Amino acid sequence: MSTTGKQLRVGMVGYAFMGAAHSQAWRTVNRVYDLPARARMSLICGRDSGKVAEAADRLGWEAYTTDWRDLVSRDDIDVVDVCTPGDSHAEIALAALAAGKHVLCEKPLANTVQEAREMAAAAATAQAAGVRSMCGFNYRRVPAVTMMRQLVADGRLGVIRHVRAVYLQDWIVDPQFPLVWRLQKDRAGSGALGDIGAHIIDLTQYVTGQRITGVSAVTETFVKERPLPAESSGLAATANGADGQVADGAAPATGPVTVDDAALFVARLDGGALATYEASRFATGRKNALRVEINGSLGSVVFDLERLNELEFYDATRPTAEQGFSRILVTEGEHPYMSAWWPPGHIIGYEHSFTHQMRDFIEAIATGADPAPSFADALQVQLVLDAVARSAETSSSWTEVEPALTAVPA
């Protein structure tokens, strides 16, 4: 597909949490980076006409529609950005690829391995016609994470031996928090495992260049019934009545939680490293705590999302008297992505990872390159999620990850 007039006309499906994050990035990317094509925020889609109209005005979209099929079929849309719950990813993305649109799809790619395989196959077919696709694992685009990968690739850590990754939240600790879509398997696919576990699976494979080959896992659902929501917006909602109240004498209506609240697993990577992973939305006091540590024969490196602009680096090749973890402030112009932002020492935030994501996607489309992570890369993450779920269902039995028949994540 050509970039008509060096302009990419974007249509986005969804306007809640991720829709807002993606909108901010589409608004910003051409104001920060000099790119071979400009993003134009042409059309946003949502089911509620009043809400999507308000979102279009607030988020900066030129027009809106309530039918994603209309968005996908339009000749004046070049890119389809999928920011919906996981149960609709496959249908929307497959239709968009068939219509010759470039596709950016939020993670996890799909709710099932079968859907993810279909999406990866469709993306490969579309790629032959010049149509590009990418999955939105935004934490790859944090400059400190990209630098972490460079340190590993440059051999600064030597042979990788241990990987430790945790992603901890607490937004559903209260048993009265309502049964939003993220707590329903038919909508979300899985719970903490797919929602935040997918991030640390992709991030560690990206940083190390190694693939998870087998797992032993345990999952748990701590609160098995929750009040039905009056408003379902994912990370914020009210229960039952609009004010969270029910009529006098009436019991609050409830429904079953059908996903995991927490998932823990050990893993082997194909380069020989041992790894541990923990994903929980019941870690009281932890709001969005993602931490990854890589230990190698020559050093170690640590990333903590709550200190997003920093890395901790241990260089075991230095004289013993000089060894110790050092703090690297990743804000210099030569650090990944940082040349477009502020003077050294001036930090960036969470939202910048999405701007970097759009930068890379636009550049790939305009130059005919293959963006990463591809749908094939995202399929491999889906296969790990599936292996974890199967292991947990069989008393933590050692479970091999099915082959994706694709390369290690680029």
Instruction: Give the model confidence (pLDDT) of 188-236 as tens digits.
Output: 999 999 999 999 999 999 999 999 999 999 999 999 999 999 865 556 5
Is the Cα torsion angle 170, 176, 178, 179 positive or negative in sign? positive
Of the candidates 400, 112, 148, 396, the one whose C-alpha atom is nearest the C-alpha of residue 292 is 148
The tens digit of pLDDT for each residue in 119-129 reads 999 999 999 99
Structure tokens at 59: 């988020």
Instruction: Tell me how far apart the alpha carbons of residues 191 and 186 are, in angstroms, rounded to a whole number.
Output: 11
Stretch 335-340: mean pLDDT: 97
**Could you count the other beta carbons within 10 Å of the beta carbon of residue 405?**
10
Going by their DSSP bridges, the two strands 274-280 and 262-269 should be labelled as antiparallel
Closest CA to 161 of 285, 299, 277: 299
Q: Which pLDDT tens digit goes with each residue over 148-164?
A: 999 999 999 999 999 99
Q: Would you mind telling me the total number of residues written for the chain in this entry? A: 410
Residue 231 has a pLDDT of: 62
Q: Which residue has the tokens 């009056």?
A: 230
pLDDT over 60 at 379, yes or no: yes
| Cβ-contact 141, 340 below 8 angstroms | no
Band the pLDDT of 404: cuts 50, 70, 90: confident
Per-residue tokens: 223: 């609160």
What is residue 47's predicted lDDT score, i.e. its pLDDT?
96
SS (H, E, C) the chain: CCCHHHEEEEEEECCCHHHHHHHHHHHHHHHHCCCCCEEEEEEEECCCHHHHHHHHHHHCCCEEECCHHHHHHCCCCCEEEECCCHHHHHHHHHHHHHCCCEEEEECCCCCCHHHHHHHHHHHHHHHCCCCCEEEECHHHHCHHHHHHHHHHHCCCCCCEEEEEEEEECCCCCCCCCCCCHHHCHHHHCCCHHHHHHHHHHHHHHHHHCCCEEEEEEEEECCCCEEECEEEECCCCEEECCCCCCCCCCCCCCEEECCCCCEEEEEEEECCCCEEEEEEECCCCCCCCEEEEEEEECCEEEEEEHHHCCEEEEEECCCCHHHCCCEEEECCCCCCCCHHHCCCCCCCCCHHHHHHHHHHHHHHHHHHCCCCCCCHHHHHHHHHHHHHHHHHHHCCCCCEECCCCCCCCCC
Q: Domains in the chain, start-ordered, CATH in brackets?
A: 7-138 (3.40.50.720), 140-373+382-390 (3.30.360.10)
Is the pLDDT reported for residue 406 higher than 50? no
Which residues touch 141 (CB under 8 Å, ≥6 apart)?
337, 352, 353, 354, 356, 357, 360
pLDDT on residue 176: 96
What residues pair up with 266 in beta bridges, in sequence order? Answer: 216, 276
> What average pLDDT does this structure show over 292-321?
98
What average pLDDT score do residues 282-288 get? Answer: 98
How many other CB atoms are found less than 10 A from the CB of residue 287? 10
Residue-wise pLDDT for 97-150, tens only, equals 999 999 999 999 999 999 999 999 999 999 999 999 999 999 999 999 999 999
Over its C-alpha atoms, the chain yields an Rg (Å, rounded) of 21
pLDDT category, 268, cuts 50, 70, 90?
very high
CB-side exposure of 394: number of CA atoms within 13 Å? Answer: 12
Q: Report the chain's mean pLDDT, rounded to a whole number.
A: 94
Q: What is the distance between the alpha carbons of residues 237 and 162, in angstroms, rounded to a whole number?
A: 39
CA distance 190 to 182: 8
Q: How confident is the model at residue 249 (pLDDT cuts 50, 70, 90)?
A: low
Q: Which of 137, 82, 140, 141 is nearest to 115 (CA)?
A: 82
Look at residue 235 in the predicted model and tell me its pLDDT.
62
Task: Examine the pLDDT at 346 and tell me if it is beyond 70.
Answer: yes
Give CA 2 to chain center in angstroms: 28
Rounded to the nearest 10 degrees, how much is the dihedral formed by the CA atoms of 154, 156, 159, 161? -120
At 100 the pLDDT is: 98
pLDDT at position 242 over 50? no
**203: phi then psi, degrees, rounded to nearest 5:** -65, -45
